[in-house]
Amino acid sequence: MKILRFISTPFRMGRRVWRRSLLFRVTTSTLLLSALVVTVLGFSLLSRVTTGLLESKDRSAISEASAGLGEAQRLLDAANTGPATPSASRLVDSVIATLGARSGSPSAFDVLLLSSDANTDAPERGTNLVAVSSIPEGLRESIQQTKRQSWTYASIVFLDGRSTPGLIVGAPLLVPTVGPYELYYLFNLDQEQETLDLVSGAVVGTGIILVILVAVLTLLVTRQVVVPVREAARIARRFSSGKLNERMQVKKEDDLAQLATSFNEMAQNLAMQIRQLEELSLLQQRFVSDVSHELRTPLTTIRMAADVMYEDRGSFDMSTARSVELLQEQLDRFESLLVDLLEISRFDAGAAVLDTDRTDLVPMIERIIHATEPLARRNDVKVRFAAYERPAYVECDPRRIDRVIRNLVDNAIEHANGTGVVIELAGDPSAVAVAVRDFGVGLMPGEASLAFSRFWRADKARARTTGGTGLGLAIALEDTRLHGGWLEAAGEPGQGSCFRLTLPRITGASFTASPLPLEEGFSRAVEPGVTEQFKDQSRTETGPGTRERDPLDTAPWRRGAP
């Protein structure tokens, strides 16, 4: 395993550098392609040089062997016509001596004269201690069968153990009074091999130098492009981090200079727009804050007058009394809107602070359920609460978390369409989650991310029964973020929606998962009979680990956290 890790570590590092560095990719790709091209060209050049050298050697060797064969045959014929016929040994020796003298000094070739009849004791001779084993059996058989000149490449073996590459040319030769022979010329290819080695070394050396030069040139050329791009990326990162005065340096007038100029112009325009938006945002925050504060004084006066009228509404006629009641309701809503606007302005200004305390969420949720009973009765909705952890302590701002959960429960009751609302609480060592699930109108695709926008409503045609301002979920999201938690939504049309609040045990602590699920189960319909059971059953959770059979226990959205 250590060997595998040792081998894989450089590979992983190289792959990481390959992904991250354009300079490395371009240089490496050019280096590899250049090496491939140089290798192909080098092999092609060596092949042509080798072919040329061998063809030239073949022509000269065959010509020399043909001339030697003719000389040997004339010598043998002349000896046979003399007054006294020499012995076979003298004939063979004279032929070898004559042909050997033609090779010059140093010897350009060696000669072997072998008998074609293996059953006779005919003499066989050669020059320079050339071994008979130098002649391949295939070449001998070819000459004996075709009775024509043949040649091949083979190693020339000497009796002292030396060997060298060579070209062997053979032809049949008739020795009078003795019988058929084979005359072989063995041409040493050491000189050609040295030439090929020299050319190969030159090609390899030149190729390596060429590839290195191409790589260096590619590196230098690519750096001229990559360095400005890296500089642009660095400036862009600093610009995105809030340093709006960062700009690229423009040194020349080429394409990269045009890129830098365009980048600077874009940065200038973006910085201007960002500053304008910041000014508008500050102006908006100041306007909302000022308006909210300025309206409180006249609103207080109107409230005092409205309260007096509301208390005496019994003395008014029916139409006037109803108008007073409507005025009281709208003043309540207006006052709630002002409170929410003030809270939003605090979030926008970064002035919101937490007053944390160790809080048990179970009694908090029970109080919220009790407070929302009139709203639930008006909407014919049964609210059920299941706590899988009792007590469920978290470090939080009780006022803000109460506001978040109350808002989720109010919205669930309002959109449940008379079915029911399930509130679940669960925890793990790092976090506590509260999920509020209804089975009403649900959310259209894409609306889960819009649910926390200011003044957004899922169904604009629905009448609002709770007198909400449209800022509740936006404020709830900001309250959750102050605690370092998550507030998420999921749903499908006609199957209801689920809002999940996840809080760390300690404010600001990190966690990686929620103890309750969110998005499971919306691909299926709600189980049959659930609506009726909501109307007939009350809260079944009575303590940690002790609860009755819940008809929703098998619902897929209840199984595990995402």
- Note the pLDDT tens digit of each residue in 271-281: 888 888 878 77
In a shared domain, residues 508 and 396:
yes
Computed over its alpha carbons, how large is the radius of gyration of the chain? 51
- What pLDDT shows up at residue 119? 66
- What pLDDT shows up at residue 122? 80
CATH number of 417's domain: 3.30.565.10
Tell me: pLDDT of 46 over 60. yes
- What is the C-alpha separation between 327 and 303, in angstroms, rounded? 9
For residue 429, give the amino acid letter. P
Ranges 16-20, 107-111, 123-127, 201-205: which has the least confidence: 16-20
Tell me: pLDDT of 220 over 60. yes
Q: Give 260's pLDDT tier (boundaries 50, 70, 90).
A: confident
In a shared domain, residues 326 and 362:
no
* Helices vs. strands in the chain: H and E counts, helices first: 12, 14
3-state DSSP call for residue 104? coil
- pLDDT (average), residues 89-101: 85
- What pLDDT shows up at residue 419? 85
Q: Is position 10 within any domain?
A: no
Ranges 85-89, 235-239, 553-557: which has the least confidence: 553-557
Tell me: pLDDT of 134 over 80. yes
Nearest 5 degrees, angle CA 504-CA 402-CA 542?
Answer: 80
CATH number of 313's domain: 1.10.287.130
Q: Give 502's pLDDT tier (boundaries 50, 70, 90).
A: very high
- pLDDT (average), residues 476-503: 89
Give the phi and the psi of residue 163 in degrees, each rounded to 5: -150, 155
- What is the C-alpha separation between 116 and 141, in angstroms, rounded? 10
In a shared domain, residues 220 and 123:
yes
- What is the C-alpha separation between 171 and 151, in angstroms, rounded? 9
Q: What is the DSSP letter of 178?
A: T
Cα separation values, 390 from 194, 368, 387, 393, 513, Å: 93, 17, 7, 8, 20
- pLDDT (average), residues 234-249: 81
- What is the C-alpha separation between 413 and 372, in angstroms, rounded? 9
Number of structural domains found in the chain: 3
In a shared domain, residues 89 and 178:
yes
CATH number of 219's domain: 3.30.450.20
DSSP E strands in 216-370: the ranges are 357-360
In a shared domain, residues 519 and 435:
yes
pLDDT tens-digit map of 379-389: 899 999 999 88
Classify each residue of 116-150 as buried b or exposed e, where b means 16 or more C-beta atoms within 10 Å of its C-beta.
Answer: beeeeebbebbbbebbeebbeeebbebbeeeeebb
Within 10 angstroms of residue 28's Cβ, the number of other Cβ atoms is: 16
- pLDDT (average), residues 506-529: 65
Domain range for residue 437?
355-460+468-558
- What pLDDT shows up at residue 229? 81
Tell me: pLDDT of 532 over 80. no
In a shared domain, residues 475 and 549:
yes
Q: Is position 8 within any domain?
A: no
Q: What is the DSSP letter of 315?
A: G
Of 433, 420, 422, 336, the C-alpha closest to 392 is 433
- What is the C-alpha separation between 208 and 202, in angstroms, rounded? 10
- What pLDDT shows up at residue 425? 94
More confident residue, 143 or 527: 143
Tell me: pLDDT of 526 over 70. no
**Crossing angle for the helix pair 361-371 and 398-414, nearest 10 degrees?**
40
Instruction: Please state, for a pLDDT cut of 70, what percent of the chain lies above it.
Output: 84
Tell me: pLDDT of 542 over 70. no
- What is the C-alpha separation between 223 and 79, in angstroms, rounded? 83
Q: Give 367's pLDDT tier (boundaries 50, 70, 90).
A: very high
- What pLDDT shows up at residue 554? 35
Tell me: pLDDT of 544 over 80. no
Tell me: pLDDT of 555 over 70. no
Of 316, 333, 352, at which residue does a domain stop?
352
Find out whether 462 and 551 touch, Cβ atoms under 8 Å: no
- Residue with token string 């060797």: 61
- What pLDDT shows up at residue 395? 93
In a shared domain, residues 384 and 434:
yes
Q: Is position 7 within any domain?
A: no
In a shared domain, residues 163 and 235:
yes
Q: Give 541's pLDDT tier (boundaries 50, 70, 90).
A: very low
Cα separation values, 434 from 69, 381, 404, 406, 526, Å: 109, 19, 10, 12, 20
- What pLDDT shows up at residue 437? 92
- Name the percent of the chain in helix, strand, coil, to the closest 5: 55, 15, 30
In a shared domain, residues 346 and 389:
no
In a shared domain, residues 373 and 400:
yes
For residue 96, give the amino acid letter. I
| Paired strand residues for 169 | 151, 185
Q: Give 430's pLDDT tier (boundaries 50, 70, 90).
A: very high
Of 209, 244, 279, at which residue does a domain stop?
244
Q: Is position 278 within any domain?
A: yes
Instruction: Please state, for a pLDDT cut of 90, what percent of the chain lies above it.
Output: 20
Is 222 exposed, middle or buried, given 0-12, 13-18 or 19+ CB atoms closer than 10 A?
Answer: middle
- What pLDDT shows up at residue 4? 59
- pLDDT (average), residues 5-25: 73
- pLDDT (average), residues 196-220: 90
Q: Is position 320 within any domain?
A: yes
Find out whether 437 and 393 touch, Cβ atoms under 8 Å: no
Tell me: pLDDT of 142 over 70. yes
In a shared domain, residues 203 and 106:
yes
In a shared domain, residues 211 and 300:
no
Of 305, 321, 352, at which residue does a domain stop?
352
Q: Is position 279 within any domain?
A: yes
Q: Is position 2 within any domain?
A: no
- pLDDT (average), residues 88-106: 83
Find out whether 28 and 227 touch, Cβ atoms under 8 Å: no
Task: Extract the tokens encoding 30.
Answer: 């050019």
- What is the C-alpha separation between 309 and 305, in angstroms, rounded? 6
Q: Give 402's pLDDT tier (boundaries 50, 70, 90).
A: very high
Find out whether 153 and 91 touch, Cβ atoms under 8 Å: no
Q: What is the DSSP letter of 21?
A: -
Biggest CA–CA distance in the chain, Å, is: 174
The pLDDT mean for the chain works out to: 80
- What pLDDT shows up at residue 509? 86
Classify each residue of 429-445 as buried b or exposed e, where b means 16 or more C-beta atoms within 10 Å of its C-beta.
Answer: eebbbbbbbbbbbbbee
Task: Extract the tokens encoding 319.
Answer: 């139409």
Q: Is position 192 within any domain?
A: yes
Ranges 141-150, 196-205, 298-307, 363-372: which has the least confidence: 298-307
